[in-house]
Amino acid sequence: MTEAALFIIGSIVGSFLNVVIYRVPRGESIVRPPSACPACGTRLRARDNVPVLGYLFLRGRCRYCSAPISPRYPTVEILGGLLPLLIFARFGFGRELLVYWPLSYVLLVISFIDLDLRIIPDKVTLPGIAVGLVVAPLVGLTGFWESLIGILVGGGALYLIGVLGELILRKESMGGGDVKLAAMLGAFLGWKMILLALFSAFLIGAVVGVAAMAGKSKDWDHAVPFGPFIALGAVLALLWGEPLLVWYSALLG
């Protein structure tokens, strides 16, 4: 029952996150007007907004104009339900669930905004740095200095990679939004976990990038938004970072 309740609540919040993903980068209110079809502008009924099921009942099309509905909507709703389940399964009820649940939703929003528009809004990451620096030490997830060093290590590492990449490739290789996102995550995770998160992000990004290039033509745009990989690396670090570090330390003797 607990897991079912978490998934239902999470998927409902995920439905709202779809609104945030669409409206925040466009500078629109996330409260008004009510949800409407992007194609015809008709206001949606409550039953059409039921997470996941509404999409299935409508067969992925608007009730009024039959325009296709992006599969992103049920995807975000499903992820919104799964993320708290994973955090609860790893930590149970406690400070981790209290902090990591909303943080995972921030990462979900950032990832899909970056995929859609290739931007990471400062209005999300800059306040997030301050919140992480206060909240993570306050609830005992990190120490204050560990959190502060995490900000410097996370943001500094990507900034340095961006500078070196620009010198070598003669073009921008790391966006400022990625740097601020890494700094924000460093505040929540501390310097050890942000390094693990970034290592995971580059590893996954490299695999996906090679696979994508192999399946595309020569004129394919090779610029890949890195925000989703940072977010995925952070989720892996906060869920399984400690066991991975223990395993790696034992491997080194």
pLDDT at 221 over 60: no
pLDDT at 219 over 70: no
State the pLDDT at residue 217.
47
Sequence-distant (6+) residues with CB within 8 A of 55 are 69, 71, 73, 74, 77
pLDDT at 50 over 60: yes
Tens of pLDDT, residue by residue over 28-46, are 888 787 777 777 777 877 7
Average pLDDT over residues 80-104: 94
Tens of pLDDT, residue by residue over 136-183, are 999 999 999 999 999 999 999 999 988 887 788 777 767 889 999 999
Band (218; pLDDT cuts 50, 70, 90): low
- pTM as predicted: 0.90
Least confident of 25-39, 55-69, 101-115: 25-39
pLDDT at 196 over 60: yes
> For residues 119 and 21, is the Cβ–Cβ distance under 8 A?
no
Q: Is there a cis peptide before residue 33, judged by omega within 30 degrees of 0?
A: yes
CA-based R_g, the chain, Å: 19
Q: What is the largest CA-CA distance in the chain?
A: 64
Sequence-distant (6+) residues with CB within 8 A of 144 are 133, 137
